[in-house]
Amino acid sequence: MIPRYTPDDIGALWSESHRVKTWLAVEVAACEAMAEAGLLPADDVQQIRRAADGVDPDRLAARALEIEATTKHDVIAFLTAFEEVAGPVARHVHFGMTSSDVLDTSLALRLVESAGLIRGAVDGLMAAVRSQAEAHRRTPMIGRSHGIHAEPITFGLVMASWYAELLRNRRRLDAATDEIRVGKISGAVGTNAHLPPAVETHALAALGLTPETVATQVVARDRHAQFFGTLATIAASVERFSVQVRHLQRTEVREAEEPFTVGQKGSSAMPHKRNPILTENLTGLARLMRGWAQAAYENVALWHERDISHSSVERVIAPDATITLVFMLRRMTRVIDGLVVYPDRMRENLEQMKGLVFSQPVLLALTRKGLGRQEAYEIVQRNAMRVWDEGVDLRSALLADGQLMEKISREEIEACFDLDRHLAHVDALIDRALNA
């Protein structure tokens, strides 16, 4: 991912230096498990450990790249570079293993590390959203369907729905992380022909991983597809939140807007502009996330025990998707923390429709009086159309309808326009989300 969208902490997880460190960790763990099983001399493995602990990963990575220019094979180049550092004992490194034992196990380590940062970013966004939900529990606004005014809600309820969605995403992320927390040290086609399964289990446990149930030459890519699909789902939620903020910031709506900092400029031509650039950016990045998830699904169908068509894909999507999602979550957190909310404007928009948003309570009141639903609907709709066409308010239109007033009292009509009655259960719904 380009530097513009790369936070330092997660960017470091995908550096050449960290890649080499995880490769070394896998090789050393395997050697130590072999020594424990009596397959390698313990003294030699201790020397391997000291060499690995003392090596400069930046220099080792640079040397491996130099060698790879000749070998055209990254793992062989890495092993050759480490042999230059460790000396004769390095002959034991990679014993009975194949390249994918290192590559897939290392990838698992870095994906799990990345997932930890993603989870922390999800938690940060949840905290910001929760704060807004509490602050605006009783801030009334209009709910919209099809982009059209529907019925009253509160801004706190909107935030609570976002919180519940993020909680679901956190659970999905945990499940996907467990799914990807696997490696393999089982050899060329996964048969453990040269290393017993106990060595694999021991080595992977030292790394915090478990063995692939039945490996081929690689860990099965359905696991990765679930992981990257989950990241795309989280990004889609961020996009949903972003689209809502973008709509609320429209001039005609102006119920909430992104923070606009001192010295910030909105347009090179129009000094008055305050544009929703942060959430527009997040909408665009979510599109990339879905594309990378699609690529992960394409990787599932490898030939036989494996080909390497997945390799080039994962070199791109593993760093780019994890880095981008951390960036997205943290940017959305800043948006929510600094969100400027306009309760008065929300109230103005709620009242803009001259009471039309209370049409359903009138409909239900008439059915309770014994009218058929269609008859009641026609009566209310007839008066609602007067609001649209003549500009009268709904309450006045209803009270002037002689046919209607024969069936219901003035007091019962007035009660239908009680906002507090409409929002009576909002606190319970918000509590249900925040206490889940």
Angle at the Cα of 258 (from 257 to 261), degrees rounded to 5? 120
Q: Is position 267 annotated as part of the catalytic site?
A: yes
Q: Residue 187 is encoded by which pair of tokens?
A: 């050899």
Q: Which residues of 332-348 are buried (b: 16+ CB within 10 A; e: fewer)?
A: bbebbeebebbbeebbe
Q: Is position 146 annotated as part of the catalytic site?
A: yes
Distances (CA, A) of 347 to 9, 143, 218, 278, 392: 43, 12, 59, 26, 19
Distance of alpha carbon 414 from alpha carbon 411, whole angstroms:
5
Query: Considering only CA atoms, which of 418, 406, 358 is closest in space to residue 383?
Result: 358
Query: Considering only CA atoms, which of 351, 419, 356 is closest in space to residue 384?
Result: 356
Annotated active-site residue in 146, 268, 272, 304: 146
Residue entry with tokens 């493995």 = 45
Residue entry with tokens 């042999």 = 83
Residue entry with tokens 């956190």 = 170
Four-CA torsion 423, 429, 434, 435, nearest 10 degrees: 130
Q: Residue 221 is encoded by which pair of tokens?
A: 């890519």
| Start-to-end C-alpha separation, the chain | 35
Distance of alpha carbon 276 from alpha carbon 279, whole angstroms:
6
Annotated active-site residue in 73, 131, 267, 425: 267
Asked whether 22 and 109 are in contact (CB, 8 A), the reply is yes
What positions carry a catalytic annotation? Answer: 146, 267
